[in-house]
Structure 1
Amino acid sequence: MPPVFRFAPSPNGHLHLGHAYSALLNFDLARQSGGRFLLRIEDIDATRCRPEFEAAIYQDLAWLGIAWETPVRRQSEHLADYRAALEKLSAEGLVYPGFESRAEIARLVAQREADAPWPRDPDGAPLYPGAAKSLSPDQRRRLIESDIPYALRLDMAAASARASGLNWVERGEGPDGETGIVAARPEAWGDVILARKETPTSYHLSVAIDDALQGVTDVVRGADLFWSTSVHRLLQHLLDLPQPTYRHHRLILDGEGRKLSKSTAATGIRELRAGGAAPADIRRLVGLP
C-alpha cells in the first residue's frame, strides 16, 4: 500500500509561511514516495472557523501548486465518529465531566501554587486541578441536568494504567533531539479535555480518529506538536486504532524567533501573493527546493 500523507489546517484565519512549509513538505514527500496526499479541514471550533477562510485555504494551496484528493474531509461533517469514540471510552470508565470554568480552574491553580509550584503540561498550561473525578454518578447527572457548561476529560491515571510502555517511531526530531523510537509520556498532560458540552470533540480526539479513518500512514507536522503525540498514541491504543509514523519538522519563525501567527500579515500567503511573490519564492522563503 502506498503511504498516505495529510495537511490539516483550521479555517480560523489565512495561511502563513509556516502552513505553506508543512503543506509543501507533505505534498513533496507524497510525490517522492509514490504516495497519496490528503487535505483535511479541522473546523470543529464553530465560533472561530469561517467559510471564507476555508475557501482561502483552497485558493492558497492551489496557487502553491498543491493538488489533493477529493472529497476533502471536514470535521464538522463527522461528529458522529467522535461521539462513538467518546461513548466507547465512557463505557470503559475512562471519561468524566468537569464543571469548573476556566476562571475557576485558574483560581484553584493559584491556591495550590501558594504552597508549591503546580505541575504543567509540555505546553506550559497547568494540569487540571479540580476534583470532578470524585463526584458520584448522581452528582454528575444533577449537574449535567442543570444545564451548566462542562468538559469531558480523560481519566489519565486509569487510561495510562491500561497502556504502559507506549512509544512511536519518529523520523524527524523532537525539541531535545529525540528521534527513532520515542517513549510516550501521556501522563505529562494530566486529564486532557476530549470534548465540551458545546463542542463534541477536541483536537486530540479528532486527530486520532481522523488519521485512522483516512488511512494516514505518515503524520508530518510542526515540532510544537511533538509531545502531543503522547496523547494521540494513548488514544490510538485505547480505541484500537492503527499507529502511523511521525515526522515533526522545524517551525518557521518570525524575525524575533517566535512561532508565526495567523494574524501576522507580513508572512501571510495571500499578502505575499498580492505583493507579487511567486510559488517558487514561497519555497525559497521556507527553505524548500
Structure 2
Amino acid sequence: MTEKLIDSGMVLLDLDDSGVGRLTLNRPEAANGMSVPFLRALYDALMRCHSEPRLRVLVVSGAGPNFCAGGDIKDFASKGEGLPDYLREATSWLQISVSALMRLNAPVIAAVHGFAAGGGGFGLVCAADLVVAAESAKFLPGATRAGMAPDAGVSVTLPRLVGLRRAMNLVLTNPILSAEEALDIGLVNQVVPDAELAEAADRLAATLAAGAPLALAASKRLLWDGVGRSVETGLPDEARTVSELSGTADAREGLAAVIERRRPVFTGK
C-alpha cells in the first residue's frame, strides 16, 4: 500500500509499506526546471522526509521526458536586472535542499531519464547517494555555457566523484555525457534500458530498505563527511559567485542564447 504524503504541486512525495519513499519533480511542462517556488516545494518535501520515521530509502525521479533541466532559464531571464537578487534566493533554497538530501538518514537514489543538467539536475545527481540511469539519459553541467558557475555543491562533489581533471573538463567545456559515459567516469552507478529504469530503481530501493537503517545512516554520514572540505563549506562561496555572475552582461547573453537556441557571444562584461 502506498500513502500519498504530498499528492499535488510541483514536487510529489509518497511512501510505501516497506519504507520506500518516492519524490517526484513535477514540472514536466518546464522540463522540471527550478524556479524559486519549485525549490521551496522541493525543500518542503525533503523536510517531510526528514520528519518521517518510517522512511528507509528515498527514490528521486522526474515527471515527463526529463529528470531535471536545471534552473528555469525563462524564469531567470524574465527577472532582468533583478536576477542577482532572485538567484540569491533560488540558490539559498537549492543549497539547503542539497544539504537535506545528503544529510537525510535514508539513502537517496536518483533515477535519471532524459536530461540531468545544470545545478538543479546535474547537482541533484551529484548529491544523491546512488544513481541509476536510463540508457538514453544525458548529463550536462551547463553552468558556464550560460555565463554562470557551478552550484548545488557541484564544485565539491563532482571532483570527488570523477577526479579533478575530468571535473574541470566537464565544467569548462560542457560536453553532453551519455549514460554510458557517465557510468565510465563514475558519475552513475548503473545504466539500464529505458523501460527498466523504474524497476531497477525499485529493486535497489528494496535492497536498501531491507538493510540496517542505523548502519546505513551512519555509513552514509561517514562517507559524505569523508569528502574532505564539506559540501556545506563550499555552498556559500558558490551562491555568492553565482549571484555576482548573474548580474553580468555575459550571463544575460548566456540565458538568451539558450532560450533562442544559438551560440552565445560573450564579451567578458
Bucket of the pairwise TM-score, normalised by the shorter protein: under 0.3
Larger Rg: 1
**Please, what TM-score do these two structures have when normalized by structure 1?**
0.23
**Please, what TM-score do these two structures have when normalized by structure 2?**
0.24
Larger fraction in helix: 2
Q: Relative contact order (C-alpha < 8 Å, sep 6+): which is higher?
A: 1
